[in-house]
């Protein structure tokens, strides 16, 4: 018999009950000592070993305090997701620092452009010092800026990536400290909308914001601007954060009196927030239900909505959720289209398999094929007209189930009749918008022409997809990178 095999077998085979008991006692003692040593070590480590979904409030707060020390550096981009960061890092060696999660736990990482892609390297904070995970374990620094300076000056490669230029935060990043929340206006599945105020830290910048939205200074304080703040709630996933930022990114590109203006985003810390123009007169749905609006004012609402949608269609934006609930009213009681959470840009058609959109505003082709286009927005516009001229007393297809509403939408007849007292011009527009063949529905520019025949509509000339791709917007010159500095306060050691 092989001697080596015999040794293995002899170790595995218990000699007697008494010795097995002694061995068990020794094992327990050794295990207890190991646990005691591990507990002592973990006191010096920010994050001890935990299950994937386990969190420690004290550790989370400690990490948040550490990240707050990074906010003073312009190369720290907060909780911005990968997709947005990738658009900011343009040249080889461009880098920034941001906060993200790994296996459900918060971490800080370096994002760097390397060989036409952006790569991400997690940082580790232990015993009051920073290092790079699995890269330069022997080098530790008391501050992130010292670590970055070493990587840049010594050209230390991170799996082939060399850090060259620290990319500063864009101007549309707003510090959390500049935002004050006043009262909650509403909430959805993933976010809340608050009335708030924005500190006027830069007069020229704030003046541009006001000119962009048409909003004036508050009477109570010339140093603050009243705004709406849309903030994420709960523990947001990476996918939720990505969608939230994409909505803000799309809205930043839209500048029109009948579109809600986005002033910027606040990503430095959690919760992530979008700062928007405050609609002084609230939601159109609540307004028309509360006040006895004359028909002329209702016609103005329909024209404003058509004007905003004509602008969106000219920019190749499909809203996908047009309804009275998403129409807000500005200080002059003008309509401002809002809620671009489901919108898409740069496409003439969007096809989806699963939808979380209210059925009663959907066009037949959406129900049948899951296809969204500007013409499906036109159908939703007709449903919105029905809401406006019923003064939003009920949802569309009142008294019917969703299945019955679907049958009417798919049927050959007009899905719903114009409300009593609707002006003939609106009746005709509704009938045309409810045409089953999307190609036969009018465009938003044609609708606006019928409502406002004397208005100059050259600004709403639709662009083809080829035109939009052949003449991209000019890249804004990036501000010079902030020199790396080690003047920041050291995070308190635990």
Rg (CA), the chain: 29
d(CA 262, CA 247): 10
Say if residues 150 and 129 touch (Cβ distance below 8 Å): no
> Which among 321, 395, 439, 456 is annotated as catalytic?
321
CA distances from 72 to 68, 75, 168, 176, 284 (A): 8, 9, 11, 12, 41
Residues sharing a CB contact under 8 Å with residue 234, sequence separation 6 or more, in sequence order:
190
- Based on the residue annotation, tell me whether 321 is a catalytic residue of this protein: yes
> Residue 356: which of 366, 345, 346 has the closest Cα?
366
> Residue 161: which of 76, 87, 91, 84 has the closest Cα?
91
Residues sharing a CB contact under 8 Å with residue 4, sequence separation 6 or more, in sequence order:
none
| Angle (nearest 5°) at CA 474 between 471 and 477 | 165
CB atoms within 10 A of CB 284: 28
Instruction: DSSP letter for 56, please.
Output: -
d(CA 274, CA 251): 10
**HEC assignment per residue over 354-374:** CCCCCHHHCCHHHHHHCEECH
Which run of H or of E encompasses 247?
A: helix 238-252
CB atoms within 10 A of CB 223: 13
Write out the DSSP string of 68-134: HHHTTSTTB-TT--HHHHHHH--STTEEEEEEEEETTEEEEEEEEEETTEEEEEEEEEETTEEEETT
Say if residues 140 and 125 touch (Cβ distance below 8 Å): no
d(CA 192, CA 227): 14
The residues that are catalytic are: 321
């Amino acid at each position: 018999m092989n001697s080596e095999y015999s040794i293995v077998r002899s170790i595995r085979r218990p000699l007697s009950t008494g010795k097995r008991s002694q061995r068990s006692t020794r094992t327990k003692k050794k295990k207890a000592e190991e646990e005691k040593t591990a507990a002592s070590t973990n006191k010096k480590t920010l994050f001890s070993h935990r299950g994937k979904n386990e969190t420690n409030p004290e550790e989370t707060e400690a990490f948040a305090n550490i990240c707050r020390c990074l906010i003073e550096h312009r190369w720290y981009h907060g909780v911005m997701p990968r997709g947005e960061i990738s658009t900011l890092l343009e040249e080889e060696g461009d880098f920034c620092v941001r906060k993200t999660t790994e296996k459900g736990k918060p971490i800080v990482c370096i994002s760097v452009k390397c060989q036409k892609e952006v790569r991400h390297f997690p940082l580790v904070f232990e015993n009051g010092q920073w290092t790079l995970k699995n890269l330069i374990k022997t080098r530790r620094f008391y501050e992130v800026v010292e670590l970055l300076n070493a990587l840049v000056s010594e050209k230390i490669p991170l799996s082939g990536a060399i850090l060259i230029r620290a990319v500063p935060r864009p101007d549309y990043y707003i510090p959390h400290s500049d935002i004050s929340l006043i009262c909650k206006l509403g909430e959805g599945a993933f976010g809340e909308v608050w009335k708030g105020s924005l500190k006027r830290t830069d007069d020229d910048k704030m003046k541009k914001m006001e000119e962009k939205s048409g909003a004036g200074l508050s009477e109570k304080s010339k140093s603050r601007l009243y705004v709406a703040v849309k903030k994420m709630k709960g523990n947001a996933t990476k996918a939720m954060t990505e969608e939230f930022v994409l909505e803000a990114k799309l809205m930043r590109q839209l500048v029109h009196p009948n579109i809600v203006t986005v002033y910027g985003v606040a990503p430095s810390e959690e919760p992530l927030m979008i700062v928007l123009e405050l609609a002084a007169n609230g939601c159109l749905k609540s307004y028309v239900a509360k006040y006895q609006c004359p028909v002329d004012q209702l016609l103005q609402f329909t024209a404003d909505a058509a004007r905003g949608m004509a602008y969106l269609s000219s920019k190749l934006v499909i809203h996908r959720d047009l309804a009275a609930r998403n129409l807000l009213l500005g200080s002059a009681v003008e309509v401002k289209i809002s809620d671009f959470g489901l919108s898409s840009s740069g496409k003439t058609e969007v096809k989806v398999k699963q939808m979380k959109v209210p059925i009663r505003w959907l066009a037949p082709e959406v129900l049948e094929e899951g296809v969204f286009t500007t013409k499906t927005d036109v159908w939703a516009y007709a449903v919105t007209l029905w809401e406006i001229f019923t003064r939003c007393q009920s949802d569309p297809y009142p008294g019917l189930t969703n299945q019955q509403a679907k049958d009417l939408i798919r049927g050959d007849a007009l899905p719903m009749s114009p409300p009593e007292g609707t002006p003939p011009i609106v009746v005709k527009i509704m009938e045309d918008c409810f045409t089953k063949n999307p190609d036969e529905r009018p465009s938003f520019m044609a609708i606006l022409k019928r409502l406002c025949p004397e208005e100059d509509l050259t600004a709403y000339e639709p662009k083809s997809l080829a035109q939009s791709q052949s003449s991209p917007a000019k890249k804004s010159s990036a501000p010079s990178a902030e020199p790396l500095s080690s003047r920041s306060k050291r995070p308190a050691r635990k």
